[in-house]
Amino acid sequence: MTKSMQIKNNQLYLGKFPLSDLVRKYQTPLMVFDWAHIRERMNEFTEYTKSSLFSTRLVYASKAFLAPYFCVLMKEAGWWIDATSGGDLYIIEQSGFPLSRVVFHGNNKSTEELKVAVTKGVGIIVVDHIEELRKIVQLATQYRSEVNTMLRINPGIEAHTHYYIQTSLLSSKFGLSIEDAQGLEEIMQIYLHNPMVRLLGFHAHIGSQIIDVKPFVACARQMLEFSHHTEKLYHYPLRHLNLGGGFGIRYTDEEIDYGRLLSLLLNEINANLLSLSYQLDALYFEPGRAIVGEAGTTLYTVDYVKSIWGGKKYLFIDGGMTDNIRTALYQAKYRVANVNTAVSEKMIIADVVGKCCESGDIIAQDVEIPFPDQGDVLAVFSTGAYCYPMAMNYNGALRPAVIVVDGDQIEEVCRRETYQDLEKLFTKK
């Protein structure tokens, strides 16, 4: 459960609100964020990434969940935000967040997206490959704009997580291999001869949902040595380093102590800087899932309980893979609760499945919860990251509303889609 959740009168509450009351007002499916939980996570990252040797810049990885409301929160907290598309840049800019505090990612940024980044003063463009760098140089020259960049390096570190979210294998589509000396030479020559495009330092991201400190430590050690070596080799100051994100959260039985993990990582970084005699001005981290993942809970209505021949039982809900594709895509696992009856002697073991015409439309398997009546509400925990951003209109499904609960206050940050919204991109005869 999230920080503000509790069980009262055998029902699940968030703050002072019974979740069943929120459902009556906002309908289901409904995504609910606990602002106290988000604030606690942000404070942890702020506290445990401090160092006397460098400044730390915390960058919210918005691909986990992006809405103007969250941009405002990050602006007020002094954080940066990352973006991965022109659409992200548009939403961030329209929210009033300064583009000078945006890190722009992507392995295939379009010319139009790069033009926006160059002309509107995006803080840092993370360069994926040499052809992209050439395009940035061309645009910087054309528009007479100075551009700050980082170069994404693939350190070849294997993180023990799902293959689809391992991003630093040497076969990965992202970045320049740390072993590619010739590729680095060609890229550095471009920087050396084009001073309007500045290389601040390197970026690395080894994957997602990592709960062990060892891969982070290995990445930090390798990237610090690589940065220091490259700086000396080319006599080019490389005083910024971005170690990406990937910090895991608890979905079922994972145990994560962010304070301990971050403290161990920072101690290792400080020790390496001192041993290398390497001056680092700024270190960046990009937590996304770790900030919003556990803070989000999705609520569904149970429409039917179905038993099939052989004894298998299903709980049919009014959402599914259209608002949470992670189980189908990554075989993700979730904890589920009955909002209306937290504890009961009458239990059921069943799969929670959606209404799409797909056998893979599954939210959770072999869930044991109090037997729900038709119309009861299920809470699926730790859905705050990557569920809403991946939501879709498959089978004509509508994206859910999203609300944030802060004590006794509720803010609707994403309205529920309507059938009329489905028409907006279609042409008429």
Q: Are residues 62 and 211 in the same domain?
A: yes
Provide, rounded to the nearest whole percent, the portion of the chain with pLDDT above 90. Answer: 93
* Nearby residues of 362 by Cβ (< 8 Å), 6 or more positions away: 320, 321, 327, 328, 351, 352, 353, 354
Mean pLDDT taken over the chain? 95
Confidence tier at 158 by pLDDT (50, 70, 90): confident
Burial of 264: CB neighbours in 10 Å, binned 0-12, 13-18, 19+: middle
398, containing H or E segment: none
Mean pLDDT value of segment 333-349: 96
The DSSP bridge partners found for residue 311 are none
Q: Are residues 283 and 299 in the same domain?
A: no
Mean pLDDT value of segment 245-258: 93
pLDDT reading at 163 higher than 50: no
pLDDT reading at 132 higher than 70: yes
**Can you read off the two tokens belonging to residue 83?**
């973006």
Report the pLDDT value the prediction gives residue 169, as an integer from 0 to 100: 58
* Nearby residues of 115 by Cβ (< 8 Å), 6 or more positions away: 139, 143
Q: Is 118 inside a domain boundary?
A: yes
Q: Which of 260, 292, 324 is the last residue of a domain?
A: 292
pLDDT reading at 234 higher than 80: yes
Looking at residue 399, the DSSP 8-state letter turns out to be P
Report the pLDDT value the prediction gives residue 429, as an integer from 0 to 100: 67
String of DSSP letters for 77-145: HT-EEEE-SHHHHHHHHHTT--GGGEEE--SS--HHHHHHHHHTT-SEEEE-SHHHHHHHHHHHHHHT-
361, containing H or E segment: none
The DSSP bridge partners found for residue 17 are 14
**Can you read off the two tokens belonging to residue 15?**
């703050």
Q: Are residues 112 and 58 in the same domain?
A: yes
The better pLDDT of the pair 206, 429 is held by: 206
* Nearby residues of 423 by Cβ (< 8 Å), 6 or more positions away: none
Mean pLDDT value of segment 300-309: 96
Q: Is 71 considered catalytic here? A: no
**Can you read off the two tokens belonging to residue 233?**
């080799």
Mean pLDDT value of segment 129-149: 98
pLDDT reading at 28 higher than 50: yes
Q: Is 43 inside a domain boundary?
A: no
Report the pLDDT value the prediction gives residue 170, as an integer from 0 to 100: 62
Q: Look at the chain and report how many structural domains it folds into.
A: 2
420, containing H or E segment: none
Report the pLDDT value the prediction gives residue 164, as an integer from 0 to 100: 42
Distance (Å, whole) CA 295 – CA 304: 28
Entry pTM: 0.95
Distance (Å, whole) CA 31 – CA 427: 31
Give the CB-side neighbour count of residue 287, counting CA atoms within 13 A.
27
pLDDT reading at 162 higher than 70: no
Report the pLDDT value the prediction gives residue 160, as an integer from 0 to 100: 58
Longest CA pairwise span in the chain (Å): 74
Report the pLDDT value the prediction gives residue 192, as an integer from 0 to 100: 98
Q: Are residues 176 and 274 in the same domain?
A: yes
Mean pLDDT value of segment 214-233: 96
If phi > 0 it is left, if psi is from -120 to 50 it is alpha, else beta; for residue 407 that is left
* Helix intervals (H) in 277-396: 289-292, 326-330
Give the CATH number for residue 150.
Answer: 3.20.20.10
What is the pairing mode between strands 147-154 and 176-177? parallel
Distance (Å, whole) CA 232 – CA 276: 12
Q: Which of 238, 268, 292 is the last residue of a domain?
A: 292
Q: Are residues 240 and 314 in the same domain?
A: no
Q: Are residues 361 and 287 in the same domain?
A: no
Mean pLDDT value of segment 115-136: 98
Nearest CA to 33 out of 413, 400, 332 is that of 413
Give the distance from CA 293 to its chain's centroid: 8
Q: Which of 236, 270, 292 is the last residue of a domain?
A: 292
String of DSSP letters for 214-244: HHHHHHHHHHHHHHHHHHHHHT----EEE--
pLDDT reading at 143 higher than 50: yes
Residue 159 corresponds to which amino acid?
A: A
Q: Are residues 65 and 93 in the same domain?
A: yes
pLDDT reading at 64 higher than 80: yes
**Can you read off the two tokens belonging to residue 400?**
């859910």
Q: Are residues 415 and 394 in the same domain?
A: yes
Q: Is 193 inside a domain boundary?
A: yes
Distance (Å, whole) CA 185 – CA 190: 9
185 three-state secondary structure: helix
Q: Are residues 223 and 310 in the same domain?
A: no
Nearest CA to 5 out of 41, 34, 30 is that of 34
Give the CB-side neighbour count of residue 289, counting CA atoms within 13 A.
19
Mean pLDDT value of segment 327-346: 95
Give the CATH number for residue 338.
Answer: 2.40.37.10
Report the pLDDT value the prediction gives residue 167, as an integer from 0 to 100: 47
Report the pLDDT value the prediction gives residue 157, as an integer from 0 to 100: 86
Enclosing domain of residue 138: 49-292
pLDDT reading at 382 higher than 60: yes
Among residues 219, 356, 357, 414, the one annotated as catalytic is: 357
The better pLDDT of the pair 164, 23 is held by: 23
Nearest CA to 142 out of 159, 119, 163, 121 is that of 119
Distance (Å, whole) CA 116 – CA 386: 25
Nearest CA to 104 out of 253, 228, 286, 252 is that of 286
